[in-house]
């Protein structure tokens, strides 16, 4: 059973940084997709970033491009989301998800593509 586990959330002021981690009991050097999603209160869950662990292809939502960086450590089966220049609108519950079939430009942000989800970690950015 694959169960992603997120960590690293917290509260920061605007302009600050946080690094989220997602450990999954699945080989990240294979054809997998590890994605980060977020859901703010009253809003739909949205894709933030994803990485095709076998090919290294990376995708970002426009709202975070240039501020967030997704990376992987295959030896630890872990994916990271480095979040810099955080804004109050980045406040949300952040979820890690695993797609066993890889991810591609047209589908990486689609929730239904992902097979396993973590419980989430809260990120709060104050102004």
Mean pLDDT per block of 10 residues along the chain (127 residues) reads 90 98 79 94 97 93 98 90 98 96 92 95 98
Decide: residue 5, CB within 10 A, 0-12 exposed, 13-18 middle, 19+ buried.
middle
Q: What is the pLDDT of residue 54?
A: 87
3-state class of 117 per DSSP? strand
Judge whether 119 and 3 are in contact, CB under 8 Å: no
Q: What is the pLDDT of residue 77?
A: 87
Q: What is the pLDDT of residue 102?
A: 87
Judge whether 68 and 80 are in contact, CB under 8 Å: no
Question: Rounded to an integer, what is the distance from CA 94 to the centroid of its chain?
Answer: 7
């Amino acid at each position: 059973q694959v169960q992603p586990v997120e960590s690293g959330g917290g509260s920061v002021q605007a302009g600050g940084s946080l690094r989220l981690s997602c450990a999954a009991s699945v080989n990240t050097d294979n054809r997998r997709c590890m994605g980060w999603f977020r859901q703010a209160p009253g809003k739909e869950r949205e894709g933030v970033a994803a990485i095709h662990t076998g090919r290294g292809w990376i995708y970002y939502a426009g709202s975070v491009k240039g501020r967030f960086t997704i990376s992987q450590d295959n030896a630890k089966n872990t994916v990271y989301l480095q979040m810099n220049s955080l804004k109050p609108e980045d406040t949300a519950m952040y979820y890690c998800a695993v797609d066993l079939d890889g991810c591609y430009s047209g589908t990486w942000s689609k929730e239904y593509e992902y097979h396993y989800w973590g419980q989430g970690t809260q990120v709060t950015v104050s102004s």
